[in-house]
Amino acid sequence: MEKIQWPQGRKCAVMLTFDLDGDTTWANGNRDYPGGEHFIKSTSIGQYGPKRSADMLLEVLGRYQVPATFFVPGQVAERNPLVIEKIAAAGHEIGHHGYTHERFFDKTPQEQIEIFQKSQEIYTKILGKPVTGFRTPSGDWSVETPSILHQLGFSYSSSMRGDDRPYRTVIDGKETDLIEIPTRWELDDYVEMAYNFFPAEPCGQDRISGYSCVLDNFTREFDGYRRYGLCCVFMMHPQVTGTPGKIQILEKLLAHMTAKGDVWFATGEQVAQWWRKTYPIALNTTKEGK
């Protein structure tokens, strides 16, 4: 297997990401039911994220001195500007995540551009500068999304599942500067532990997972990525991991990872910059499988 070069000879990269969805995902799901736009209990699950989990996460990340990337829907940033300021002040990165966690494959190119621009204005107002990364909210990209991201000058996306290394996004048969930093479902706390009775999450309704099992899954995944020298992108959600009991999963995972002493912890922007510099555009720009 090809050995990837990481900064200072580090063995692998870890990009910790937190999708601060707030209540957007629950509000979107509630609309599938008659009168669902008024469901209050399920939206309150998401409101726990900015209200309670963010501080808990910032304390743990600060204790282990690791940077993270928070993908935040524009509306959540708009409603919680002080939380966003606090996250950025602690040295973490903010990234795009739709305005109301829209499904991009449902949107026209013009609608997608408007979502990006509206959200960018909100981030810029809070942070004093635009943000450069994107994670697609629920669902998938539309076929036009990569070229829209590229045209709007995005540095990277962390949306896909088909690799365990960053790569240059191919648009119209050509490799571009738009870096994709893919993640995997097995690195997602939502898949492992998110729960609501009604509307049902998960649909088949048979979970909350044992916390020691989840820690074991995440630890084994990290160990595997480190063994092969890859880029391990944990995809967590403050409202899921940032609770009094489950935060211990993150703490134990960070203790395990930081004790190795040879792991590069980086934000999405740092990974993207490193990849562009270290792996320039190949001469043959039409690669199979991208």
Binding site for Zn ion (CB under 5 A): 19, 21
Q: Which is closer to Zn ion, CB of 136 or CB of 267?
A: 136
Closest approach, Cβ 34 to Zn ion, in A, equals 25
| Buried b or exposed e, range 157-177, using 16+ CB within 10 angstroms | bbbbeebbbbbbbbeeeebbb
Q: Which is closer to Zn ion, CB of 19 or CB of 175?
A: 19
Q: Which is closer to Zn ion, CB of 28 or CB of 169?
A: 28
Tell me the C-alpha distance between 40 and 58, whole Å. 27
Six-digit token string for 236? 């967590």
Closest approach, Cβ 235 to Zn ion, in A, equals 9
Q: Which is closer to Zn ion, CB of 57 or CB of 263?
A: 57
Q: Which is closer to Zn ion, CB of 19 or CB of 164?
A: 19
Name the maximum alpha-carbon separation found in the chain. Answer: 56
Q: Which is closer to Zn ion, CB of 84 or CB of 257?
A: 84
Six-digit token string for 51? 């209200």
Closest approach, Cβ 205 to Zn ion, in A, equals 21
Q: Which is closer to Zn ion, CB of 23 or CB of 180?
A: 23
For tokens 């990340």, name the residue.
61
Going from the C-alpha of 233 to that of each of 61, 77, 181, 223, the distances in angstroms are 15, 23, 8, 13
Closest approach, Cβ 103 to Zn ion, in A, equals 11
Query: Which residues, other chains included, contact 133 with Cβ-Cβ below 8 Å and sequence gap of 6+?
Result: 69, 71, 93, 95, 96, 154, 155, 156, 157, 158, 268, 269, 272
By beta carbon distance, the residue nearest Zn ion is 19
Closest approach, Cβ 101 to Zn ion, in A, equals 6
Six-digit token string for 26? 């629950």
Tell me the C-alpha distance between 99 and 94, whole Å. 14
Closest approach, Cβ 256 to Zn ion, in A, equals 26
Closest approach, Cβ 161 to Zn ion, in A, equals 15
Closest approach, Cβ 67 to Zn ion, in A, equals 20
Contact between 59 and 97 (Cβ < 8 Å): no
Q: Which is closer to Zn ion, CB of 102 or CB of 175?
A: 102
